[in-house]
Amino acid sequence: METEQKVEKDRLAVGVWLRLMKSYNLILRQARRSISTDCTLAQFDVLAQLARHPEGLSFRQLSQELLVTAGNLTGIVDRLEAEGLVVRNQVPEDRRSFQVKLTKSGQKLSEKLIEKHTTDLQKLFAGLSKDELLQLRDLLGKLQTEIEKEGV
């Protein structure tokens, strides 16, 4: 009996994983379409994080916020800088560190894209009630906490 329950729970876990991935991929596809005329999704992620931190972020802070390595950010920031959307300033206390900030153009573009992205997400989740969205958010938060606790 216990083995049957374990097999059923294992299958359920795989089913949840598959639905999460399918939903994620569908949302990601829409997000890419939404911003594709202005920048890449990776560039948008950087712009959105910097919009939340007008004082700017170091590469280390930015990589922690985005869950990517600082090395992955270099090319993205280089392109954003070349387009005049961000500026990279050396940190006076540490000549090896740089702080990245939005320029005025970057602020304008990030505001436009964040508004569009928010509207698109609202449309994608329109089929769920407010209570369902709250429940989904809370369950995903609980899952995230459990995974982080396990150190996985």
CA trace torsion 49, 26, 70, 87 (10° rounding): -40
Is pTM beyond 0.85? Reply is no
- Identify the pLDDT of residue 152: 56
Instruction: For residue 121, name the pLDDT band (cuts at 50, 70, 90).
Output: very high
Q: What is the mean pLDDT of the chain?
A: 90
- Mean local confidence (pLDDT), 97-113: 94
pLDDT band at 82 (very low <50, low <70, confident <90, very high): very high
Helix (H) or strand (E) run with residue 97 in it? strand 94-102
**Contact 98/91 with Cβ under 8 angstroms?**
yes
Task: Give mean pLDDT, residues 27-55.
Answer: 91
Q: What percent of the chain has pLDDT over 90?
A: 64
Answer whether 114's CB lies under 8 Å from 44's CB.
no
| Percent of the chain's residues with pLDDT above 70 | 99
